[in-house]
């Protein structure tokens, strides 16, 4: 028997390997400080859990859900977009639920990419953009994100031949893993570029609600003309600390949303209705709660950035997201430096190359590590002298 080629070509998912490494260390009795995976440690708000408890007792919620989601969930999504971004959407045709944004992002390629087709994908980036493309039989053309450009795609540098071959372009701001943020003007440029080459524009906006220092992230749907070719993916995972509940949504161009609904209706039965009701409560959280949640991550960001700088590294202090993206010392690769931190200090970070070739030279550290574990990691970094590598590269 032979597995399908798409499975044979599939690289191990980045965080599976990290989890195994941590488990192996712990099995040896070693205390590991984990800055690897971006999984909020702060609990889901009580009001949201109470909504789930009540919804779980409704017999109607014990049956199959509809793929597009409860009308009241979709209306809560569009009402939130109106309040948050000033974007008015039709809840019946321009919004749907997802079983977490990751699922929708992975399925999107099946809607817009034919075998042999091309997707324009930022590099470094969330790996699911390229994996979904591979599952659809397409190829990824990478758009390097550079520190000197503020981690923004430079549309002037995109190869025109690749853009003509492509059917979709992925964007992600606030950006994972770099922490880069995009002004609304950038999204206007993205829409114009997509229009020029006839591209579907897919935007991963899952980090817009974790922002610092007064920064407020825009939606791509605020850009002029974006509704003609854009779909945005969002999630309550980071907004309301709900990674385990898998509540996401896709909004935007009605034809694109309908295409995703048609794919999903043939592959899954949608998100549990009780959890959708939970999502409604999360979408209606007091904005002050969301701001206070971000403030907890902001304090961790400041401590971690200061600790890394004290150890001789030079990370930027991000304005949004759950990660610190730090250059590694000269003559170290991303993987070698991550291994050094693990061997010397039992600290886990993610090598930048896990997010694409342009991630070389960086490591990512998550802010979802509990405060006392952040303090322990900083204690280990304090006074640590980075050794010279045995060999460069």
**38-73: pLDDT as tens digits:** 899 999 999 999 999 999 999 999 999 988 899 999
Residue 96 bridge partners (DSSP): 250
End-to-end CA distance of the chain: 39
Q: Does the structure show a pLDDT above 70 at 17?
A: no
> How distant is the alpha carbon of residue 324 from its chain centre?
14
Going from N- to C-terminal start, the domains of the chain cover 5-43+288-381, 46-286
User: CATH for 46-286, among 3.90.245.10, 3.40.640.10, 3.30.750.200, 3.40.50.720?
Assistant: 3.40.640.10
Contacts of 11 (CB under 8 A, 6+ apart): none
Per-residue pLDDT reduced to its tens digit, 125-177: 999 999 999 999 999 999 999 999 999 999 999 999 999 999 999 999 999 99
Say how far apart CA 373 and CA 248 lie, in whole Å: 29
The CA-atom distances, in angstroms, between 71 and each of 51, 78, 98, 192, 331 are: 17, 11, 14, 33, 55
pLDDT at position 312, please? 92
Mean pLDDT, to the nearest integer, of 109-131? 97
**Number of other CB atoms surrounding residue 179 within 10 Å:** 24
Say how far apart CA 112 and CA 262 lie, in whole Å: 12
Q: How confident is the model at residue 15 (pLDDT cuts 50, 70, 90)?
A: low
Q: Using the structure block, give the residue that is written with the tokens 């993610």.
A: 350
Q: Percent of the chain at pLDDT above 90? A: 87
Provide the CATH topology of domain 5-43+288-381: 3.90.1150
Q: How many residues belong to the chain?
A: 393
Residue pair 369/377 in contact (Cβ under 8 Å)? The answer is yes
pLDDT at position 50, please? 98
pTM beyond 0.85: the answer is yes
Contacts of 35 (CB under 8 A, 6+ apart): 304, 347, 348, 349, 350, 365, 366, 369, 377
Q: Which residue has the higher pLDDT, 226 or 29?
A: 226
Q: Which helix (H) or strand (E) holds 274?
A: helix 273-283
Q: How confident is the model at residue 301 (pLDDT cuts 50, 70, 90)?
A: very high
- Tell me which residue of 325, 332, 329 sits closest to 311, measured CA to CA: 329
pLDDT at position 391, please? 47
Q: Does the structure show a pLDDT above 50 at 393?
A: no
Per-residue pLDDT reduced to its tens digit, 75-103: 999 999 999 999 999 999 999 999 999 99
pLDDT at position 383, please? 81
Q: Does the structure show a pLDDT above 80 at 282?
A: yes
């Amino acid at each position: 028997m032979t597995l399908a080629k798409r499975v044979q070509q599939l690289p191990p998912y980045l965080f599976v390997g990290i989890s195994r490494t941590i488990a192996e260390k712990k099995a040896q009795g070693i205390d590991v400080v984990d800055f690897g995976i971006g999984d909020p440690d702060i609990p889901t708000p009580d009001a949201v859990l109470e909504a789930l408890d009540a919804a779980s007792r409704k017999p109607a919620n014990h049956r199959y859900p509809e793929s597009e989601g409860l009308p009241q969930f979709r209306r809560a999504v569009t009402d939130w977009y109106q309040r948050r971004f000033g974007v008015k959407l039709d809840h019946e045709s321009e919004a749907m639920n997802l079983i977490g944004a990751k699922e929708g992002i992975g399925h999107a390629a099946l809607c817009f990419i034919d075998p042999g087709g091309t997707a324009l994908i930022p590099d470094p980036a969330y790996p699911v953009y390229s994996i979904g493309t591979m599952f659809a039989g397409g190829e990824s053309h990478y758009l390097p994100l550079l520190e000197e450009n503020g981690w923004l795609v430079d549309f002037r540098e995109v190869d025109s031949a690749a853009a003509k071959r492509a059917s979709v372009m992925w964007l992600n701001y606030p950006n994972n893993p770099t922490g880069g943020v995009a002004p609304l003007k950038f999204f206007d440029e993205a829409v114009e570029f997509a229009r020029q080459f006839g591209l579907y524009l897919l935007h991963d906006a899952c980090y817009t609600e974790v922002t610092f220092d007064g920064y407020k992230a825009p939606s791509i749907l605020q850009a002029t003309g974006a509704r003609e070719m854009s779909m945005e993916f969002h999630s309550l995972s980071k907004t309301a600390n709900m990674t385990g509940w898998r509540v996401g949504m896709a909004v935007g161009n009605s034809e694109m949303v309908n295409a995703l609904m048609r794919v999903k209706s043939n592959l899954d039965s949608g998100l549990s209705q009780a959890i959708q009701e939970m999502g409604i409560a999360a979408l209606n959280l007091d904005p002050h709660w969301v701001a206070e949640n971000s403030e907890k991550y902001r304090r961790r960001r400041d401590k971690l950035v200061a600790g890394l700088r004290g150890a001789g590294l030079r990370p930027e202090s991000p304005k949004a997201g759950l990660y610190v993206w730090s250059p590694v010392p000269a003559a170290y690769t991303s993987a070698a430096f991550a291994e050094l931190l693990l061997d010397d200090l039992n600290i886990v970070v993610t090598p930048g190359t896990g997010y694409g070739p342009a991630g070389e030279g960086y490591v990512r550290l998550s802010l979802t590590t509990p405060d006392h574990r952040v303090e322990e990691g900083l204690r280990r970094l304090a006074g640590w002298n980075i050794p010279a590598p045995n060999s460069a590269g």
